[in-house]
């Protein structure tokens, strides 16, 4: 049952397409952290296949929506398997310039290229048209390498899942869930094409 105004974390993907299961794996780990009282008790943790209207319905009325999905490697964005981009539209890397371009490229790759439904990129575009974007929307893209049929994550993606789950738990525990600059969470050098999680 939904509670209006509560935060939600949505893991998008198919667990039986190897690295496409990154989003559901993050949610599974967050459930373990919630059991240890490391995630606020009112946080909703959901998994979906990535159909845009389903995503929009899940994040409806959420105070903050955090969406985690897999993305295919993109040489043009300079991102390899296991790397992560965090993009919050309207904050930090969601803006202009090289970093914003990398985040947008990765966001555009979330979905069909990763082997499932249209995904967060299409959901965000539709939500903008329908004026159904949450007050805060944060997208985490975990770059995968193996999207073939079968369970289990590749080693670099499995390591990233652990980091992303803990970063999201930390973010959810922040008082008031205020917007946070990507520079506080991510390493972001002038040489890098986009923000990356700190090791």
pLDDT digits (tens, 9 = 90+) for 73-121: 766 667 788 999 888 876 544 433 334 444 444 544 444 444 455 556 5
Cα Rg of the chain, angstroms: 15
- 94 in a domain, yes or no? no
Q: Where residue 191 sits, what CATH number does that domain have?
A: 3.40.50.1450
- 141 in a domain, yes or no? yes
The span from the CA of 156 to the CA of 10, in Å, is 21
- 96 in a domain, yes or no? no
Q: For residue 48, what pLDDT is reported? A: 92
- 13 in a domain, yes or no? yes
Q: For residue 88, what pLDDT is reported? A: 83
- 182 in a domain, yes or no? yes
Entry pTM:
0.74
- 173 in a domain, yes or no? yes
Nearest to 76 by CA among 197, 193, 196: 193
Total domains, the chain: 1
Residue 54, domain extent: 8-89+102-197
- 74 in a domain, yes or no? yes
């Amino acid at each position: 049952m939904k509670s209006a105004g509560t935060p939600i974390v949505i893991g998008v993907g198919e667990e039986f397409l190897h690295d496409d299961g990154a989003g559901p794996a993050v949610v599974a780990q967050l459930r373990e952290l919630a059991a240890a009282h490391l995630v606020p008790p009112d946080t909703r943790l959901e998994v979906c296949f990535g159909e845009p209207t389903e995503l929009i319905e899940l994040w409806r009325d959420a105070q903050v929506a955090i969406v985690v999905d897999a993305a295919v490697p993109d040489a043009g964005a300079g991102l390899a398997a296991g790397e992560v981009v965090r993009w919050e539209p309207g904050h930090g890397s969601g803006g202009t310039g090289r970093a914003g371009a990398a985040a947008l490229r990765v966001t555009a790759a979330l979905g069909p290229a990763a082997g499932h439904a249209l995904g967060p990129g299409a959901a965000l575009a539709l939500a903008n048209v329908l004026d159904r974007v949450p007050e805060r929307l944060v997208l985490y893209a975990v770059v995968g390498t193996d999207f073939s049929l079968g369970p289990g994550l590749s080693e670099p993606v499995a390591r990233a899942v652990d980091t992303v789950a803990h970063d999201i738990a930390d973010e959810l525990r922040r008082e008031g869930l205020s917007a946070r600059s990507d520079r506080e969470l991510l390493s972001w050098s002038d040489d890098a094409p986009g923000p990356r999680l700190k090791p």
